[in-house]
Structure 1
Amino acid sequence: MTIQSLGVGSGLALDDLVQQLLEAERKPKQDRLNIKEERIEAEISGIGQIKSKFSAFEESLDELRSDNNLNGREPTVTNPSEDNDILSADASNSALKGIYEISVEQLASGSRITTDAGAFASSSDAILSSGNSSLTFSVSDEKTFTLEIASGTTLAAFREQVNSAENNFGVTANIIDTGTSAGPRLVFTSSESGLGNDLVISNDNGAPELDRLSTSGGTSNISNDNIQQARNAIAYVDGIEVQSSTNKFENTIQNVEFEVKEVSPKNSVGEMLTSKLNIGFDKEGLEQKIKDFVDNYNSLMEEIDTLSSYGESELEEDGALAGDSLLRGIQTGLASIVGDNVVNSALGGLFQIGIELDKDGKLEIGSSDFGLGSGEDRLNDALEDNFDEIAKLFTDSEGGIATRLYEFTREYTSSGGLLSFREKVAKDSRDDVFSERETLELRMLNYEQVLRDKYLNLDQTVARLNQTASALLSSL
C-alpha cells in the first residue's frame, strides 16, 4: 500500500491534518485497551500473590494434619557431668514415655592388627625380596579384597597399596615408627565392628616373608598378642546388659534408637555412673508448629485484605482485586473452619489451646482471661495435660481443623482449582486485548489510507487551481 506525501501540490499541511485525525480516532480506543490491560495484569498479579501465600499456608497445614508430625517424642539425655557426651538418642512417635538409666561399659570396634616388634627395620624395607605373591584381607566371605605383591615392594608402598585398594571395605593401614629396636610397626584397623567380624589377613601362597603381615596361611604369622578382635558395644539399661555390633542400639528400648559415644565414667569405688534418658513429648516442636500455623494464616488474610480493599481516599489506590467475591469467599470459608468445634477432640476448638479470632479476623494467642487463663496459659496447659488431644484437634479425619483447612485450600490451589481457573480466564482476557490491539492497528491503517486518498484529491485540485490562477495572472 502506497502512502503518498500530502501537501506538496497545494502547499497545505495536509499530512499533519491526517496524523491529527488518526490520533483523534485511535486515542480513545487505545486508552480503553490500556485501562483494560492494566486491570487484567493487576488481576493476574494479585492471583499470583494469593497463590503464593496459599502455598505457604498449605505447607504449615501439611505439618499439622498428620499424627506423625504432631505426636513427636523428644528424647532428653542427662549425663553425669557437662564434660561427658555418653550417648544421644532419637525416638519415633510411637515410643512410650519413660525414664531410663543407661551406662556404657564398652564401645563397639573393629579388629586391630599390629605387626610384631622387630619384623621390619625400616619403612623402606622390601616386604618381598623375590617373586610375586598376594595377601587377602577378609571379614566373612562377603567382604574381601586381594592385593598382588610385587618383588621389592616396600613397607611404605604396601601401606599405600592397602589404603587405595579398589575393593577395600574399610581396612586402614598406618605405620608407627617406634624409634626403638622394635622398628616400624604396621597397624591395620577394620571399620567392621561387632563380635565375630574379625579381620583375617591370609598369606595366599605361603611366602615366608609375607608371614610378617598375615594372620593365617603361613607358619610364623603375626602373634595373637598383637591381634585385637572386633567387639560389640556393651551398655546397661536400668541394670540390664545389652549389646550391639555397632555403637547404635536400635529398638533395645522399643521405638527408640540411642548411640553410645564414650565409656561411662566411674565413681570413687569403681562403679559406672549412669546417664538419664527421658522420653517425653516434643512440646516445643508442637508449640512452634502451632505458632507457624497462626502466622501463616494471618499472612494469608492480610494479603487478601490488601488485594481486596478499596482506597480510603482518592490518593490511595484500590487493591488489585478490590471487592472481588472470590476473595470474600476465601475469607469466609477460612474463618468458618477455624471457628468451628472438633467433636472428636476433648479440647473442642482452638480457643482451648489459646488461639482466638481478633476483631480484624486474624488469629492470635489471646491475652484475654475469661476466667480460664490467658492464651499462653491455655496453650501451655494443653501441651502439658492434653498433648494427644491437640493432635486430634488438628488431624481428625472428619472434623480436624488442619484436615478441613487443607481440603479447603486444595479447592483453590490445585491445578484445576478456582484460583488456577480464574488465572486462566484472566490470561485469556489478556490475549483478547492483544488481539484487539492488532485489529485496531489494521483498522487504523485502512482509515489512514481513506484519509490520504481523500486529501490527495483535495491536494491535486488545489494544485490545479493554483496553476490556473498563475496562468491568468501571467496573461493579465
Structure 2
Amino acid sequence: MGAISSLGIGSGLDLNGLLDQLEDAEREKLVPIERQVETENTKISAYGQLQSALSAFQDSADALNDSALYESLSSNVGGEAVTAAADAEAQPGSYNISVDTMATRGTLASTGVGAADTPIIDADADQTLTLTFADNSTKEITLAAGSTLEEVRDTINASGDSGVNATIVNDGTDFRLALSSSETGADASISNFSFTGVAPFDADRDVDDGTGTHQSGTDALLNVNGIEITSPNNQVEGAIQGVTLNLQEEGESTVKIEQDTLAVREAVTSFVDAYNDLKGTIGELTSFDSETGEAGDLLGDSAVRTVESRMRSVLSGAVEGEFSMLSDIGISLQTDGKLEIDADELDNAVSNNQDALSAFFVGDSDETGMAGQANTMVEQLLSTNGAVTGAKTGAENSIESLGERYTRMEQSIDQTISRYRTQFGQLDGIIAQMNQTSSYLTQQFDALDAQLGRN
C-alpha cells in the first residue's frame, strides 16, 4: 500500500482539523505561563516607577543635606546702574554705588586708501606693523608682501593677542582701517601704529576729544559707600569682598548682600513636594477600586510596605537640636500620609534661624540630620540588596525562569503533536486499507450473488 501524503485522504476523516484542535488544547498549557510573565513585567514597570519617585525624593534630600545651602548669600539690587553676584566669601551688608564713568575701548582709524582689494604693501618684502598702546606697550604683526587692505585686516584679526579688532570703513571716498582695542580701559587703549617700510597709510590721530577718529579708552569710575574706585573694565571684582559688580550704565544703585532665604525655602518645598509625589505614586500602585475590582500593580507588595514603613520612621523621628521634628519648622504629616507646609512657620524658621535649620537637616555629619537620614534610607532601599531593587531583580529572575519553562513546555507540545500526527497517519493508512478490503469483499460477494442467481 502506498504512503498517504495528506491526513484524511485515505480514511475520509477530517484528521487535520482534529489535529489542530488537539494542538490548540495542548497550547492552552502555555497560557498560565504567559499570564505569569505579563504579571511579572507589570511588576517590573511598577518597581521602576517606585524607583524613579524614590530617586527624586533622594535628590531633594541631598539638596537639603548641604550645609553650604544655609550659608549662601544673595544680592538684591535697586537701580539700573549695576547688577551684582555674591559668592561664598561675601559678607552681609548694604552698599550705595554711583557709576560716574563706564569703561570704554580705545579706537583709532587710518588715513584712506583708494581700494580695499588692491595690494598696498610692497610686493618685494614683508612688512611689520607695530601697534602702540596707551601704556607704551607694543605688538608687532607681520604683513605679507603684496597684502591688500582686506588682507591687512584679516592678518590683524588672525593674531589672537594683537590687542585690537580690525574692520574696514568706507568714508564715502576712501577705505580706512579702523582699530578698536580688544579690552576696555585707559592702558589697553590703542594710541598709534607704524610700519617698518614705506607706510601704505598713516594713523589718523585727529583730536582725541571723543569726536575725532582717535578716541582713547577710559577706565570705569565708581563710588562705593563714598570710596572712589577705578577699574579697567565694567566687571568689577574685589571692590566689595566676594561680590562681582557688573556696570550697566552711569547712575546710582543700591546693593544689599543678605542670606539667600529663597534658595532654602525652595529646597524645603522641593523636599516636601518630592515626598508627596512619592506618596502619590505609592497610592496609585497599591490602590483598589471596590466597585470595579481593579487593583494597583503592587497592591499588598511587601517591598512597598517596607518603603512606607521606613519613610514613616524617618519623617516622624526626631533629631537633636533646637528644631527636632518636622513639625517644629511648620511641616506636618497629614492623615493621608502626605506632608503639608505651614508657610508662616517655615518662613519664620528660614528667615530668622538658618543655623538651627541647618542643624536639623544636615546635623554634624551627612547621616545625622533629617535630610541625611532620608538620603541614607533611600540609598539602602535602592541598593543591590535593598527591598525595592531586590524585588525588581526577583521579578526579572522569575521571568527568566518562566521563559525557560515556556521553552520546555513548547518543546513538549511539539513532540506530542508530532506523535499525534504519526499516529493519525497510521490510523489513516489502516482505515484506507480496511476500506480497500471492504470494497474487495463487496465486489466478491456481488460476483458470488450474480453467479448463484444464474444457477
What TM-score does the superposition give when structure 2 sets the normalisation length?
A: 0.84
Secondary structure, aligned partner of 1:464: helix
Instruction: String of CA shifts for 1:317-364, please: whole Å, max 9, x gaps.
Output: 2211111111111111112212222213x2222212221111011011
SS at 2:265 equivalent: helix
**Unmatched segments (≥5 aa) in structure 1:** 80-84, 214-220, 265-273, 366-374
Question: Which amino acid counterpart does residue 381 of structure 1 have in structure 2?
Answer: N
Contact 1:144–1:167 (CA under 8 A) maintained in structure 2: no
Task: Indicate yes or no: 2:27 matched with 1:26.
Answer: yes
Check conservation: 1:308, 1:322, Cα contact below 8 A: yes
Out of 273, 276, 296, which is 1:298 matched to? 276
1:472 maps to which residue?
A: 441
Summarize deviations over 1:163-187 as a string: whole Å, max 9, x none: 643435552335666679xx87654
Residues 82-120 of structure 1 deviation map (CA, whole Å, 9 limit, x = unaligned): xxx2100011245222111111222223333345xxx44
How many residues matched? 434
Measured after TM superposition, the shift of residue 447 of structure 1 is: 0.9
Is 1:312 the counterpart of 2:290? The answer is yes
2:61–2:375: 8 Å Cα contact kept in structure 1? yes
Within-5 A mapping of 1:352-391: 352-365=328-341, 375-391=342-358
Equivalent in 310, 323, 340 of residue 333 of structure 1: 310
Q: CA deviation at 1:38?
A: 1.2
Q: Is 1:91 aligned with 2:86? A: yes
Output the aligned Cα RMSD. 3.3
Q: What is the alpha-carbon distance in structure 1 between the residues aligned to residue 158 and residue 206 of structure 2?
A: 25
For 1:41, the aligned partner's letter is N
CA distance in 1, matches of 2:388, 2:95: 53
Q: Does 1:255 align with 2:242?
A: yes
Partners in 2 of 1:143 and 1:389 — Cα distance?
A: 59
**Partner amino acid for 1:173?**
A
Q: Secondary structure at the match of 2:368?
A: coil
Task: Give 1:39 deviation, angstroms.
Answer: 0.9
Aligned to 1:270: none
Give, in angstroms, the shift of residue 56 of structure 1.
Answer: 2.2
Deviations 1:270-307 (A, max 9, x none): xxxx4211112222232222222211111111111211
Displacement of 1:129 in angstroms is 7.4
The equivalent of 2:222 in structure 1 is: 235
Question: Is 2:360 the partner of 1:393?
Answer: yes
1:161 pairs with 2:140: no
Aligned CA distance change for structure 1 residues 43 and 350 (closer, same or farther; 3 Å): same
The verdict on how the C-alpha distance between 1:12 and 1:247 changes in structure 2, with shifts beyond 3 A counting, is: same
Is 2:264 the partner of 1:286? yes
Shift of 1:406: 1.4
Match of 2:187 in 1: 196
Q: What letter is aligned with 1:134?
A: T
TM-aligned CA deviation for residue 161 of structure 1: 3.4
What is the correspondence of 1:54-73 to structure 2 with a 5 Å cutoff? 54-73=54-73
Amino acid at match of 1:285: A
Equivalence for 1:217: none
Matched, 1:10 2:1: no
Q: CA deviation at 1:146?
A: 0.9
On the 8 A contact 2:103/2:234 being kept in 1, the answer is: yes
Identify which of 307, 323, 326 aligns with 2:300: 323
Letter in 1 for 2:129: L
Aligned equivalents of 1:13, 1:142: Cα separation in 2 = 106
Alpha carbons of structure 1 residues 170 and 332: separation in structure 2 relative to 1, 3 Å: farther
The unaligned stretches of length 5 or more in structure 2 are: 446-455
Q: How has the CA–CA distance of structure 1 residues 467 and 348 changed in structure 2, closer, same or farther, with 3 Å as cutoff?
A: same
* Aligned equivalents of 2:164, 2:60: Cα separation in 1: 47
Q: Secondary structure in 1 aligned to 2:436? A: helix
| Superimposed CA distance per residue, residues 98-149 of structure 1 (whole angstroms, 9 cap, x where no aligned partner) | 111111222223333345xxx4486769865786533133668999451416
- For residues 457 and 162 of structure 1, the distance between their equivalents in structure 2, rounded to whole angstroms, comes to 96
Q: Contact conserved, 1:250 with 1:256, CA < 8 A, in 2?
A: yes
SS in structure 2 at match of 1:318:
coil
1:424 and 2:419 matched: no
1:265-284 correspondence to structure 2 within 5 Å: 274-284=252-262
**Contact in 2 for aligned 1:159/1:174 (Cα 8 Å):** no
| Residue 169 to residue 289, structure 1, CA distance change in 2 (3 Å) | farther
Kindly report which structure 2 residues correspond to 1:106-255, keeping only aligned pairs within 5 A, or say none: 106-115=101-110, 119-120=111-112, 132=125, 133-137=127-131, 144=139, 146-148=141-143, 150=145, 153-154=148-149, 157=150, 160-161=153-154, 164-167=157-160, 169=162, 171-174=164-167, 186-199=177-190, 201-210=192-201, 212-213=202-203, 222=205, 225=208, 228-255=215-242
Code of the residue aligned with 2:91 in structure 1: it is: L
**Alpha-carbon distance in structure 2 between the residues aligned to 1:302 and 1:71:** 33
CA apart distance, 1:24: 2.5
Larger-gyration structure (1/2): 2
User: TM-score normalized by structure 1?
Assistant: 0.80
Asked whether the 8 Å contact 1:145–1:167 carries over to 2, the reply is no
Contact 2:303 2:391 in 1 (8 A): no
